[in-house]
Amino acid sequence: MLSLDAIRAQFPALTQKVYGKPLIYLDNAATTQTPIDVLVACREYKEKSNANPHRGAHYLGVQATTLYENARNKVAKFINAASSQEVIFTKNATEALNLVAYSYGMSKISQDEEIVLCISEHHSNLVPWQMVAKAKGAKLRYLYLADDYTLSWSEVEKVITEKTALVAIAQMSNVLGTVYPLKDVISYAHEKGAVVVVDGAQSVPHLQTDVQALDADFFAFSGHKMYGPMGIGVLYGKREHLEAMPPFLRGGEMVEYVEEQVTTFNELPYKFEAGTPNVEGAVGLAAAIDFLEKISLEDVKAYEDGLTSYALGKLQEVPYLKIYGALDAKGRGPVISFSLEGCHPHDVATIVDSDGIALRAGHHCAQPLMRYLGAPATSRISFALYNTKDEIDACVASLKGVRRWLGHGS
C-alpha cells in the first residue's frame, strides 16, 4: 500500500480548513473526495477530446468514443463481468436500480409473485420495487435482521421461497455497515428460481467485486462513492437478462432503425443508453478504478478494517453512545451509525461540524430500517482509505463534548 501521506496528498479537498480547523471528512458513505488523477483525467478529456461519442466521424469524436469504451472495458474487468456488453453506464446507482425495476420488473414480474427486500435497503433499492409490486399485483416481503444486525440463515429460508421472483439486496448496509452473505443468498435464491439484484453502492469502494463469483443477476453502483465523479453509475446485468429486457429510456443512440411507426433497438449495451452519455464521468470513473487498483482493494480493506475496529473501540468510550451495528469489524464495512442519548443527531452533526468534522445525520434514506431499529435518525461516520486514527480520536473527543454543549451534565 502507498504511504498514507502519499494517498492523502492525492486529495486536495483534504488539505483545506473549515471554520479555521483542519477538515476531517467522515461522510464517505455519502460521497468520497476526488483524487488528483481523477480530476486530471476529467479535465484532460474536456480540454482535448470533448465530442459526442459514437456519432462523429471526426478525430475528436473517435477519441471520445475510444475513451468511453475503454472506460467500459475497465469497469467490466474491475467487476469481472464476462463481457463489457454487460456493463451499462447510468447516472448513478439509483438510476441503475430503476432501470432494472422499470425494464425487468415491469415486464417479468407477475401477479401474486413475491419480491424480497432486506429491511436495511436504501430507498433507491426499495421504492422502485414498491412501484413494481403495486403495478403488477406482486407482494413485497422483507428479510428482517437478528439482534446483532446480521441476517440469519433461518430468515433467508423462511422468506425466500418458490413464490419469490426477485430478491433485491445491498451487499453492504449504508447504515449498519453489515456485509450480507450474498454468495449464499444468491445461490439459494437461484435454487428457488428467483433473480437477484445487488445494490453494490456501499461495497464497491471497499471490497473486491466479482459479479461472476457472486453469480449476481444485476449489480448497481455509483462513481462518486468510489473516488470518481458524480453523475456516473453502472448497471451490470447478465447478458441473458439484458437481451430479453425492453429498453428503459428511448431516443437517440439506443436505436438501430427508426421508421414512422416502428423502431428496432441497438445491441447491448447501447439499448440501455439513450441520449448523449456522460463521457467525462466515465473517463473519471476509469481513473478512479486505476487509482484504487494501484493501491489494491485488498490493502484498502485491511487498512479500513483497522480504522473501523479502532473507531468501534473508541466510540464505546463515549458515555451515553449507542452503536447500531456489529461491534466487531469482521463481517462489516467502515460505516458506523450511533446515537447519543438525549441529543438529536442533527445537533450532534452541527456541533462536531464546528470542530471541522463532517459526519452524517438523519435517516440515511433507509426509513423502514430506522422504524425497525426504533430510532428516527442516527449519526453516522464512514471511512475511506485516506482517513486516520488521529481523525477518529478528534471525532471522539468532539463527541464527548456534545452532551455538555447541549446542557446535559456529562
Ligand X SMILES: Cc1ncc(COP(=O)(O)O)c(C=O)c1O
The residue (of 286 and 402) whose beta carbon lies closer to ligand X is: 286
Instruction: Check residue 90 for interaction with ligand X (CB under 6 A).
Output: no
* Whether 343 is catalytic: no
Spatial CB neighbours of 401, under 8 Å, sequence gap ≥ 6: 351
**205-224 binders of ligand X (CB under 6 A):** 222
The residue (of 141 and 363) whose beta carbon lies closer to ligand X is: 363
- Whether 139 and 147 have beta carbons less than 8 Å apart is answered as no
Q: Sign (positive/negative) of CA torsion 359, 364, 370, 373? A: negative
The residue (of 167 and 343) whose beta carbon lies closer to ligand X is: 167
CA distance 170 to 117: 9
Of 88-96, 161-169, 272-280, 377-385, the window that binds ligand X (rule: CB under 6 A) is 88-96
CA distance 160 to 192: 7
By rule CB under 6 A, what string of x and - marks binding of each residue 130-169 to ligand X?
----------------------------------------
Q: Count residues near ligand X (CB under 6 A).
A: 13
Nearest to 75 by CA among 223, 225, 268, 297: 223
The residue (of 30 and 255) whose beta carbon lies closer to ligand X is: 30
- Per the listing, cell 475513451 goes with 67
By rule CB under 6 A, what string of x and - marks binding of each residue 220-259 to ligand X?
--x-------------------------------------
Of 40-48, 91-99, 258-266, 278-286, the window that binds ligand X (rule: CB under 6 A) is 91-99
CA distance 146 to 132: 28
Spatial CB neighbours of 313, under 8 Å, sequence gap ≥ 6: none
Of the residues 103, 202, 339, 398, which one makes contact with ligand X according to CB under 6 A: 202
The residue (of 64 and 166) whose beta carbon lies closer to ligand X is: 166
**163-192 binders of ligand X (CB under 6 A):** 170, 174
Instruction: Check residue 27 for interaction with ligand X (CB under 6 A).
Output: no
- Whether 223 and 230 have beta carbons less than 8 Å apart is answered as yes
Q: What one-character-per-residue DSSP string does 155-202 give?
A: HHHHH--TTEEEEEEESB-TTT-BBP-HHHHHHHHHHTT-EEEEE-TT
Rounded least distance, CB 222 to ligand X, Å:
3
**94-123 binders of ligand X (CB under 6 A):** 94, 122
CA distance 158 to 167: 13
Instruction: Check residue 124 for interaction with ligand X (CB under 6 A).
Output: yes
| Structure-block grid coordinates of residue 403 | 452532551
Q: Active-site positions? A: 365
In the complex, the residues that contact ligand X under the rule CB under 6 A are: 30, 92-94, 122, 124-125, 170, 174, 199, 201-202, 222
